[in-house]
Every structure is written in structure tokens, then in C-alpha cells.
Amino acid sequence: MNLNREAFQRAAQLSDALADRWFAHVAATATEFGITTPQRLAAWIAQIGHESGGFTQLVESFNYRVDALKIFSRIPANMRDLLGRQSHERVVPIEQQMKIANLAYGGRYGNGDTNSGDGWRYRGRGLKQITFKHNYQDCGVALNVDLVAQPEILERDEYAARSAGWFWMTNGLNQLADEGDFVRITRVINGGLTGHPERQARWQIATDVLLV
């Protein structure tokens, strides 16, 4: 399927400005990584649309109030309370966001311990929100850029899109899209089913547009 700008805009529910910004990158990435059927495109656009807040957020935010910190099971309850007491403002100070990221992601998948800063350094980036040092390293090899030394490269639109295509293909999500198994796609991307109803609503819209 040759994706055109109008269909992409409607499938992803984007403004004119966002469609202009993203269409060329999304179309090129889809071709590069074999996301070339209506079923694959609909599922991919829906998932990366959700992950990126509608193609607007390329860096994971840790601007969490205390009541939201419970999603991070690795952060002890007493630490969540401490962070919460220090985070009463609507905008959590950057130092607090760094603490949350390092506690949540430290010591996992190639990241150093919580004192290394790797949790913050390799937080989610790109349209898929690539996370953890090991994933940055593997993605960088595939895209021929050094994402370990320069993780912020994934904040550039071209690489934000290509990293999402790389993850999709590498994890066999084209096949799951062919099978129509959107639930399993969500589990692979999210590790669970967080936000699945919203993802599925996006999928239905994209499917209606692209499978006409």
C-alpha cells in the first residue's frame, strides 16, 4: 500500500501541521521496515500515536504527582511518599523527575544502578519511546548512529520515526498485525495492557480509514 498524506492524517487524527511534519518520515520508515499493508499500517500508526501522545511527545515525561507514582512498582512506597512530599507543584522539578527515572529504570536492561543516571539518560524517546541502554545500543546499530553516546538523536523526527519502525519489525509485530492480534502487539510494546482501550480506539479509526 502506498500511504498518502491525506490517509495518514485521517488515520492518525492529526492537524495539518502535524501531518506535514510527520508524513514523509512515517512513509519512509514504513517502506524501510516492511510496514506496507493496510493492516500493518493501521496497527503501527495506532500504537505509535498512543505512545507519542498523538505524535507530539518524543521524550518520556517523569512529571508525576505522588498519586501517579504507584505505576512504578520498583519505587518503594516510602520513597514514593518522599518524592510526593517534594512534588506538590503542578510541574515537578527536573531534579525530582531524574530521581524518579533513575529509581524506576536503574539496574535494568543494561542500565547502571540508580546512581549512574542511566535511568534518566536512557528514558523513553522517539515515537515508540525506546527505553533502556541495551535497546538504545541495538537500535543504534540498526540505524547506524551511536545512541549510547548520543541518546538525544532519537528526539530528531527522522530517527524518532525510524526507531519506531525498527522496534516494530525487530519484535515481529508485522506478523502479529497480519494476524490481527492487536492485544499481543500492545503487550509487546507496553509489557502489559496499559492504555489498551485508547490504543484500540485509535486502531479502529486507522483501520476504518486504511481498509476502505
Q: What pLDDT score does 99 carry?
A: 87
CA-based nearest residue to 123, from 139, 113, 111: 111
Q: What's this model's pTM, rounded to 2 decimal places? A: 0.90
What residue type is 26 in one-letter code? V
SS3 at position 130: strand
Q: What pLDDT score does 96 carry?
A: 83
DSSP conformational letter for 125: B
CA 155 from centroid of its chain's CA atoms: 11
Give long-range contacts, CB 8 A cutoff, 24+ apart: 192-201. Answer: 194/71, 195/50, 198/50, 199/46, 199/47, 199/50, 200/46
CA-based nearest residue to 45, from 3, 96, 94, 92: 3
First CA to last CA distance, the chain: 12
Assess contact for 157 and 135: CB atoms under 8 A: no
Q: What pLDDT score does 73 carry?
A: 63
SS3 at position 59: strand
User: Exposed/middle/buried for 140, CB within 10 Å: 0-12, 13-18, 19+?
Assistant: buried
Domain boundaries, the chain: 5-56+157-210, 66-121
Assess contact for 104 and 74: CB atoms under 8 A: yes
Q: Per residue in 76-128, pLDDT tens?
A: 565 555 555 554 555 678 888 898 899 889 999 999 999 999 999 999 999 99
Q: Which residues of the chain have pLDDT under 70?
A: 64-91, 212
Q: What pLDDT score does 134 carry?
A: 98
Cα–Cα distances in angstroms (integers) from residue 173 to residues 168, 187, 204, in the given order:
5, 11, 17
Q: What pLDDT score does 61 carry?
A: 87
DSSP conformational letter for 171: T
